[in-house]
Amino acid sequence: MTTERPLRVLLADDEHLIRGALAALLALEEDLVVVAEAASGPEALAMALAHRPDVAVLDLQMPGADGVKVATSLRAELPHCRTMIVTSHGRPGHLKRALAAGVRGFVPKTVSARRLAEIIRTVHAGNRYVDPELAADAISAGDSPLTAREAEVLELAADGAPVAEIAERASLSQGTVRNYLSSAASKIGAENRHTAVRLARERGWV
Amino acid sequence: MTTERPLRVLLADDEHLIRGALAALLALEEDLVVVAEAASGPEALAMALAHRPDVAVLDLQMPGADGVKVATSLRAELPHCRTMIVTSHGRPGHLKRALAAGVRGFVPKTVSARRLAEIIRTVHAGNRYVDPELAADAISAGDSPLTAREAEVLELAADGAPVAEIAERASLSQGTVRNYLSSAASKIGAENRHTAVRLARERGWV
DNA sequence: CACTGCTCATGACAAACGTCATGGGGTGGC
DNA sequence: GCCACCCCATGACGTTTGTCATGAGCAGTG
């Protein structure tokens, strides 16, 4: 691990404080070099295309496009580049979305920098790494019992919009919307759609 | 700034990655020394009492007790210690709560480490610092138009509970609850209580 | 003291919502 | 080809909400 070509890393996080600090810590690792930094989704994509990193470390929540979206685009445009997600809130749903997008690493920000460096190497080697606790959460939350439309309608109900508005935005009749909301709520075990939205959010089903 | 006694800093953030990285960056500043780190609210309090820092840099969201609660306790138990909050999401309400708790600095995590160090010095010198953008948000959100009971009832409605449950938990009649919710929603300009809850949250009125 | 504003309540009405039964159309599996 | 399951809709029903008018008790203010 001395004379080898260093592992090129892209760092994307909208929080300057964290991104800078992270870059500084990763720079301490001899075999890693941070070749680019980005503060938003689109910027991350542009930087990746310009600097062609081996591994892209993406924050989940960024302006423009979140980490998973960036990972999806990256997979298409820069297939050799491995992607991993670092996040503060480990919702089960995010993990699922990320894995579906071809992300190979998923870690909470509670890990240490040294550990993160190890995981970057693991991911670069072609292996996967998912934080055990997050994985356990995802398993215990189970798979979503909701159908595609139920989930969609529930999402439209998220900000407290009345049925009429949801119906219009989904191009459905009001009756249909109420049916979907009703079945979604009963599947989730909620008394009304508002608590249903909350619970579905917590379990990563929307 | 060479022979002076260094400025003692406590760092509290539940995200190990960020806390460690931050400590490393602040260590680069000659006049600052991180004397303690904590990963939770209670731990932050204990560490502060043990190490008596000059400035406590607290994350807003931590397990156990959030940054503002810690600041409140700190103010009582360690009055000479200045407190400041660093946060990812700058909700106007948080800022108001923080200032009321005697916090002297309030910054988003989008600032650079160098800037943070400057602000730590500013706060230590007895001055206040509030991120201009967050301050503007707080001002534009204005003061809450809600009466005490309206806010209380709205809060009980936060998780989507039906009126009957709210009435029971508030020891009010259902009719009264509906009146409060109605007037609160109309004051806020929301169509129903659920959006009212959301908007009130965003503006820091609950 | 009159006035204003908050608190709490009741009753009543319309609108919105949750639930159920029912049915047609589509897709995929066995 | 049958069956299961999803998608979408309609109509009907009872319940929950939102809104309004009204009024009593109780501060605090000028």
- List Cα–Cα distances, B2 to B6, B29, B183, in angstroms: 9, 11, 60
What pLDDT sits at residue A83? 94
Residue A129 banded pLDDT, cuts 50, 70, 90 = very high
Pairing of strands A105-108, A129-130: parallel
Task: Closest CB to B113: pick one of A14, A17, A193.
Answer: A17
What pLDDT sits at residue A3? 61
First to last CA, chain A: 43
Task: For A167, list phi and psi in degrees, rounded to 5.
Answer: -60, -45
Q: Which two tokens stand for residue B116?
A: 């943070």
The residues, any chain, with a CB within 8 Å of residue A42's CB and separated by 6 or more, are A64, A65
**Average pLDDT of the segment spanning A68-90:** 88
- C-beta atoms of B21 and A18 within 8 A: yes
pLDDT tens digits, A141-162: 667 788 989 999 999 999 999 9
What pLDDT sits at residue B155? 93
**Side-chain-side CA neighbours of residue B152 (13 Å):** 10
Query: In chain B, which residues have pLDDT < 70?
Result: 1-3, 141
Looking across all nucleic acid strands, the nucleotide with the smallest C1' to CA distance from residue B148 is C6
Distance CA A59, CA A12 (A): 6
Cβ(B172)–Cβ(B152) under 8 Å? no
Domains and CATH numbers, chain B: 7-140 (3.40.50.2300), 148-203 (1.10.10.10)
Average pLDDT, chain A: 88
> Measured between CB atoms, does B199 come within 8 Å of chain A?
no
Give the three-class secondary structure for B139: helix
Using the 8-state DSSP alphabet, how is residue A98 labeled? H
> Measured between CB atoms, does B189 come within 8 Å of chain A?
no
What pLDDT sits at residue A165? 94
Q: Is the CB of A183 under 7 A from strand D?
A: no
Task: Identify the residue among B62, B194, B197, B202 best suited for mutation to test binding to A, counting A beta carbons within 10 A and taking the highest.
Answer: B194
Looking across all nucleic acid strands, the nucleotide with the smallest C1' to CA distance from residue A174 is D9
Task: Identify the residue among B11, B13, B18 best suited for mutation to test binding to A, counting A beta carbons within 10 A and taking the highest.
Answer: B18
Q: Which two tokens stand for residue B109?
A: 């995590």
Beta strand segments in B76-190, E: 82-87, 105-108, 129-130
Distance CA B185, CA A16 (A): 37
- C-beta atoms of A88 and B21 within 8 A: no
- C-beta atoms of B110 and A160 within 8 A: no
By 3-state DSSP, what share of chain B in percent is helix, strand and coil, each rounded to 5?
Answer: 50, 15, 35
The distance (Å) linking the CA of A148 with the C1' of C16 is: 25
Distance CA A40, CA A18 (A): 14
- C-beta atoms of A17 and B86 within 8 A: yes
The residues, any chain, with a CB within 8 Å of residue B62's CB and separated by 6 or more, are B12, B13, B14, B39, B40, B41, B44, B70
Query: Which residues on A lie below 8 Å from B39 (Cβ)?
Result: 110
The residues, any chain, with a CB within 8 Å of residue A109's CB and separated by 6 or more, are A18, A86, A87, A88, B15, B16, B17, B18
pLDDT tens digits, B63-85: 887 888 899 999 999 999 999 99
What pLDDT sits at residue B27? 87
Query: Which residues on A lie below 8 Å from B195 (Cβ)?
Result: 159-161
Residue A1 banded pLDDT, cuts 50, 70, 90 = low
Distance CA A189, CA A105 (A): 32
Where b means 16+ CB within 10 Å and e means fewer, A180-203 reads: bbebbbebbebeebbbbbbbbeeb
Task: Closest CB to A111: pick one of B16, B162, B192.
Answer: B16
> Measured between CB atoms, does A63 come within 8 Å of chain B?
no
- Element counts in chain A: helices (H) and strands (E): 10, 6
- List Cα–Cα distances, B95 to A88, A164, B137, B142, B145, in angstroms: 21, 36, 10, 12, 18
- C-beta atoms of B160 and A195 within 8 A: yes
pLDDT score of A127 more than 90:
yes
What pLDDT sits at residue B67? 85
Query: Which residues on A lie below 8 Å from B161 (Cβ)?
Result: 195
First to last CA, chain B: 44
pLDDT score of A54 more than 70:
yes
Nearest to A12 by CA among A102, A93, A74: A74
Q: Is the CB of B94 under 7 A from strand D?
A: no
> Measured between CB atoms, does B113 come within 8 Å of chain A?
yes
Nucleotides of C under 7 A from a protein CB: 5-12, 16-21
Query: Which residues on B lie below 8 Å from A191 (Cβ)?
Result: 160, 162
Residue A64 banded pLDDT, cuts 50, 70, 90 = confident
What pLDDT sits at residue A21? 82
